[in-house]
Structure 1
């Protein structure tokens, strides 16, 4: 059951997805046009089997003029799956492809654009603006924690899920987003000119641009003011708000406040005591969660990870490559330690060793790709009924509805586990789940 170390995939040059898909119209009824972008048109659609409403972004392949354009769409799909755990990111249902279009079916947000609501409302109070800023910068922090730079934050790229006053704000467009490694700098000039950070124009930038962008356009739109702090409405704006704006719009990227720093700023947290340390990175928090699981659950996660499509695991593949600095196809203790340091972890070596041992389910001394996927999957993929059923079926070879000792022993062999680990696993398992072999 070990996954090969080669983790790239081949796909036809005229295809975006690396695998064939069902026909979109076999599963969805298409409705009215909802919006138009540079590359695609968004439509209302309804799933035939459930009656649930979705939005479908249809991208014309005629507008994809080169390999880079195809790669950009493929990356957008992977990033949407990668970020799907976050409540403020629109959730992707799936991707479909035919000869003419690539279709991205996603959660329907019927509350309209943040930009339109700002215009309609006229202005927001500071407290309302702070709530919106908290949501927007929360998305930025989630992106950076998972190795994604958004690069195109603006009010038009946020939608409300319903027309209600207290609707949830969600990020919807990741067409310019890109995977990056800590310390990596990019040079291509992208994004809307009105919101662009200075260092983008100098063609040398990192994730700090997302903090600038989340303030430069959005905050000015929300409070309808200029940044001279003298004309209206700035004389009536609190010093705390102006302090945050100055820190977010620092022209020196390295001195600019981080996304986490914004979320801890008194103006955002309403003068409550701010957290005194950054939140765990996504990789670290998931490794900690995985380490607390029993061995059977870890094996089940490995089964689930290996049946997921490349669309769903593409982001985790990028995280694996970031940690696997020597491109060996495995992560050593030293690579894991250095990788966690880069994302702000201050764990002791003994704590990192515990996480390493937990993820290294076959005790080989390194974390293989399949082991990494299992350890870093998010719960929203694990808890899907079809994935849980597939995991149980893998163990229950004879379809009896129980896992016998022989079946469990065979599964352990498939995963390269020793007999001593099998004994430990049996001690951890609920008796109702397993019966002795004859």
Structure 2
């Protein structure tokens, strides 16, 4: 397998007592090094990229210094935070124009051998892209390639996406800090679900009006050689608070280039995205642009009833529901929803990507083509309430996930490398069953031989009967219980501002906004002892249900779903 850090892949319970992680394989690496890299002109995938256009020319990223950037832009309050950076309100110092600035840290990963991330190959650099520094570790190079690709795709879609894509003004790279600033249009109209909930009347016609924009974004992406791969309501914002405000897609962090037209056979294997919106072929590790239509179909289902079509207590159960593909049209409000709407959902959630509608075909479907005549009968207060609760809970967990993601222990990997070399008695770069058993016992992790054998078989992806450094690290991380409480405790303290040991309604309101009903809904769902507040135990239970809380880390999420897909497809 090579290298020591195709690590951070996902855990799986083994006979209910022990867990292991499956490393990322060579097939994963193909996507990381050949999905278009960072170039906005030429794809590095096996098939040629779409022909370059005028808006693809020139440097992707403008070199600058921290002082020069500060002279040009005044950074304001924080709007959002993720694993790799933060988005702030900013102002053009010369014109006073209000903008948003997403600052991505290019050098977040630790240096040295501990930095190998997901077995990624070296990045490909497009014109003007910030090159990897000499001697840059593979993890930093892989992350830099992700940043470069995101910039390239944002630039392409910003210039060709009309009003439905957030406008990227420029991308600046600080020479010293290693940070990339994406200066873009500021969208202040709020999230999709919040706008719907705020309206007193909500009907199919209202849903069709916003959904048409979402599908048009998919069409624009595909016609311009981009697969979004992470379509979900949170990635759409309204430009302003006016009633007729344009809905815009704001994030392309997981998007990739592909070759449309005669080269539309490009296939991808990297398992990325968000569990609720993930197409079955993504889990099967063989997919193309059709996955975006599936994700849009999931959004439409939620828009019309308030909950996702595929549900489960954790990522594995959600993925199993996706693979089963059973769509419930029986509960409220579906008996009152038009046949055309249900037909469109069925055809967008077709498990066979070759017969699934394309984005263009979705736009031609009678329900969307005649959106102005879609039923204007209210879908009921229950749908609005569900949307409100789904949105509020997502925001709560998303903020907590952001705190967790910033505290995942990438720096711990070095010590597992050292442990590997100590256990490798014959210094041949591989651990035998005997060496593994002896080493785990010495390091305080005695495990029965039968379970070690099963663990070895599962983690030994190259089938040679031993574990190399890569494979050993993935096993060790979960025997160490990476899901220990310290990371969730950090997230809990973020909300528990007064240190009382409880998250009070007022503290939730400070973080999620003055939506009293949504706050009450969250308290009602999470507060199991009914004392009107959230204890640490209740918070932990919430975070460990539904999608894996460690998916706040893009690094963990990629490997988590990759491992999960292997196991589910093996069991099919």
TM-score (norm 2): 0.43
Aligned mate of 1:90, from 153, 159, 166: 166
How many angstroms apart in 2 are the aligned matches of 1:18 and 1:130? 38
Q: Is this contact kept in 1: 2:209–2:371, CA < 8 A?
A: no
CA positional deviation for 1:130 = 0.7
Aligned mate of 1:34, from 76, 79, 85: 79
Q: Is this contact kept in 2: 1:187–1:200, CA < 8 A?
A: yes
Q: CA, structure 1 residues 171+94, in 2 after alignment: closer, same or farther (shift >3 Å)?
A: same
How many angstroms apart in 2 are the aligned matches of 1:53 and 1:67? 33
CA positional deviation for 1:124 = 3.1
How many angstroms apart in 2 are the aligned matches of 1:68 and 1:168? 35
Q: Is this contact kept in 2: 1:41–1:57, CA < 8 A?
A: yes
CA positional deviation for 1:217 = 3.3
* Unaligned runs of at least 5 residues, structure 2: 1-40, 44-58, 110-138, 310-326, 374-572
1:51-62 matches, cutoff 5 A: 51-62=96-107
Q: Give the structure 1 partner of residue 370 of structure 2.
A: 270
Q: Aligned to 2:94, what secondary structure does the other structure show? A: coil
Q: Aligned to 1:229, what secondary structure does the other structure show? A: coil
Q: Is this contact kept in 2: 1:40–1:57, CA < 8 A?
A: yes
1:272-287 matches, cutoff 5 A: none
Q: Aligned to 2:190, what secondary structure does the other structure show? A: coil
1:94-113 matches, cutoff 5 A: 94-98=170-174, 99-100=176-177, 101-113=179-191
Q: Give the structure 2 partner of residue 238 of structure 1.
A: 338
How many angstroms apart in 2 are the aligned matches of 1:120 and 1:195? 24
Q: Give the structure 2 partner of residue 77 of structure 1.
A: 151
Is 1:188 matched up with 2:270? Answer: yes
Aligned mate of 1:204, from 268, 286, 294: 286
Q: Is this contact kept in 1: 2:88–2:100, CA < 8 A?
A: yes
How many angstroms apart in 2 are the aligned matches of 1:66 and 1:178? 19
Q: Aligned to 1:109, what secondary structure does the other structure show? A: coil
Q: Is this contact kept in 2: 1:266–1:272, CA < 8 A?
A: no
Aligned mate of 2:219, from 141, 151, 169: 141
CA positional deviation for 1:119 = 4.6
Q: CA RMSD in A?
A: 2.4
How many angstroms apart in 1 are the aligned matches of 2:247 and 2:201? 17
Is 1:20 matched up with 2:120? Answer: no
How many angstroms apart in 2 are the aligned matches of 1:18 and 1:172? 19
* Unaligned runs of at least 5 residues, structure 1: 1-6, 10-15, 274-438
Q: Is this contact kept in 2: 1:29–1:45, CA < 8 A?
A: yes
Q: Give the structure 2 partner of residue 376 of structure 1.
A: none
Q: Give the structure 1 partner of residue 92 of structure 2.
A: 47
How many angstroms apart in 2 are the aligned matches of 1:210 and 1:62? 30
How many angstroms apart in 1 are the aligned matches of 2:42 and 2:369? 43
CA positional deviation for 1:228 = 1.1
Q: Aligned to 1:242, what secondary structure does the other structure show? A: helix
CA positional deviation for 1:208 = 0.2
How many angstroms apart in 2 are the aligned matches of 1:243 and 1:8? 39
Q: Give the structure 2 partner of residue 258 of structure 1.
A: 358
CA positional deviation for 1:224 = 1.4
Q: Give the structure 1 partner of residue 114 of structure 2.
A: none
Is 1:165 matched up with 2:243? Answer: yes
CA positional deviation for 1:272 = 8.9
CA positional deviation for 1:61 = 2.4
How many angstroms apart in 1 are the aligned matches of 2:246 and 2:353? 30
CA positional deviation for 1:223 = 3.2
How many angstroms apart in 1 are the aligned matches of 2:86 and 2:258? 28
Q: CA, structure 1 residues 218+244, in 2 after alignment: closer, same or farther (shift >3 Å)?
A: closer
How many angstroms apart in 2 are the aligned matches of 1:212 and 1:122? 29
Superimposed CA distance per residue, residues 214-246 of structure 1 (whole angstroms, 9 cap, x where no aligned partner): 121353145315541110010000000001000
Aligned length: 261
